[in-house]
């Protein structure tokens, strides 16, 4: 019997847009907590948090995507991600407006991002899918950070 594996994605909201990340890169979801600022950190980095004794850099996802900043709400949370940067894997937290749900999106329902004009860099988005009446942009989180930015996450 042949089984077809359908990839699962965690969907979340950011500035009224819906994004998705492959669940294989999501380690956990945290409630918003106090973030310690780091002097001279890159603009996209909010600071660090203590994650069970480990230092976790926290990214301002709105800043990274050129969106206006917003006040944190009860729905704001941190998605802990595993980001592949060349030969290294970096753990980072990404602040999002609200996590929604995990959905399965068959590969044939993911269309190239170049088929629609988006305000985001094309290499950040690995594809777009229509779920119910909404479009979901599927992030290629490994491409969102340049090698230098990923190094800053490690160094800082």
Residue 1 lies inside a defined structural domain of this protein: no
Residue 145 in contact with residue 57, Cβ under 8 Å?
Answer: no
3 part of a folded domain: no
Which residues of the chain, if any, have pLDDT below 50?
A: 155-156
In a domain, 91, yes or no: yes
Residue 2 in any domain: the answer is no
Residue 89 within a domain: yes
For residue 61, what is the enclosing H or E element? helix 61-64
Query: In the prediction, which pLDDT does 120 show?
Result: 66
* Beta-strand relationship, 45-51 and 26-31: unpaired
Domain containing residue 104: CATH number: 2.40.50.180
Domain count, the chain: 1
Report the pLDDT value the prediction gives residue 140, as an integer from 0 to 100: 86
Residue 117 sits at φ, ψ, to 5 deg, of -80, 125
Q: What pTM, to 2 d.p., does this model score?
A: 0.86
Check residue 89 and give its pLDDT. Answer: 84
User: Could you tell me the residue range of the domain that residue 133 belongs to?
Assistant: 8-153
Give, as one character, the DSSP assignment of residue 131. Answer: E
Rounded Cα distance between 151 and 156, Å, is: 8
Residue 151 is predicted with a pLDDT of: 62
Would you say residue 104 lies in a domain?
yes
119 contacts 66 by C-beta, under 8 angstroms: yes
Beta strands in the chain (DSSP E): 8-14, 17-22, 26-31, 45-51, 54-60, 77-85, 88-96, 98-104, 125-131, 134-139
Domain-located, residue 88 = yes
DSSP 97-121: SEEEEEEE--GGGPBPGGGS--SS-
Is residue 109 situated within a structural domain?
Answer: yes
């Amino acid at each position: 019997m042949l089984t077809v594996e359908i990839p699962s994605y965690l969907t979340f909201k950011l500035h009224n847009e819906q994004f998705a990340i492959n669940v294989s890169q999501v380690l956990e979801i945290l409630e918003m907590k106090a973030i310690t600022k780091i002097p001279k950190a890159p603009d996209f980095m909010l600071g660090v948090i203590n994650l069970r004794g480990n230092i976790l850099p926290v990214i301002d996802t709105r800043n990274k995507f050129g969106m206006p900043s917003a006040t944190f709400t009860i729905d704001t949370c941190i998605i802990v991600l595993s980001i592949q940067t060349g030969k290294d894997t970096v753990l980072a937290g990404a602040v999002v407006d609200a996590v929604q749900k995990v959905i399965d999106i068959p590969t044939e329902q993911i269309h190239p991002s170049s088929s629609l004009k988006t305000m985001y860099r094309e290499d950040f988005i690995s594809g777009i899918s229509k779920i119910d009446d909404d479009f979901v942009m599927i992030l290629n989180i490994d491409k969102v950070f340049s090698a230098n930015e990923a190094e800053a996450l490690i160094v800082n």
